[in-house]
Chains A and B, each alone.
Chain A
């Protein structure tokens, strides 16, 4: 099973700052199968990025994804108040899904 490790666990930033979130896989993951979600308290997860770098419908262009192999990154170029949330990466492989442990982006 592919294990996804997200870092940091918590990121304390101010609105307007740049956020860089890391997702590292225990073995190589096809970019096609790497996804990012956003989850706010009391809400369901929301699809942000699929295929490592493709934004989902309605996702602002301040969100971008990159990476390949075992190292993937979600970048939020300028944090808006509504971006403070928990972010999860997820991979598909061997007919199963695994999620990373999440990165909480909190207001500094």
Chain B
């Protein structure tokens, strides 16, 4: 059974940094692209970033490009999102999600339960 568990969320001041982690189990982690999707309180879904199975290719939404970095450790079955220069508008639940293919992320077939990031002074 596929299981994705996010951690690392919390309260951070504007301009600060946080690193989110997502530990995966139940599938061969390196065979699949992974991504992050966020949801601001009471709002819809927004794609943030994705990474290929090997980790060699990364993709970002314009809203986070240059501030966030996605990475993965296939030996530890863990996905990361390093978030720098945080802004109030980054406040959201961040979901880790698995894609059905190694390189392309046409959609996400499994999702974690999310971790809440709050950016406020």
Residues of chain A at the chain B interface (Cβ within 8 Å) = 32-33, 35, 37, 39, 43-47, 50, 56, 88, 90, 92, 95-102
The contact of B107 among A44, A50, A95, by CB within 8 Å, is A50
B47 located at the interface, meaning its Cβ lies under 8 Å from any Cβ of chain A in the complex = yes
The contact of A47 among B44, B109, B113, by CB within 8 Å, is B109
Structural contact, A44 and B114, CB atoms closer than 8 A:
yes
Structural contact, A47 and B108, CB atoms closer than 8 A:
yes
- How many A-B pairs with Cβ below 8 Å? 55
Residues of chain B at the chain A interface (Cβ within 8 Å) = 35, 37, 44-47, 50, 59, 61, 95, 100, 104-114
Given contacts A90-B47, A96-B59, A96-B61, 19 further A-B contacts (CB under 8 A): A32-B106, A44-B111, A44-B114, A45-B37, A46-B111, A47-B108, A50-B107, A56-B109, A88-B45, A97-B37, A97-B47, A97-B50, A97-B105, A97-B107, A98-B47, A99-B46, A101-B44, A102-B44, A102-B45
Contact residues in A for B107 (Cβ distance below 8 Å) = 35, 47, 50, 90, 92, 97
Q: A44-B95, A44-B114, A45-B95 are in contact. Are A99 and B45 (CB under 8 A)?
A: yes
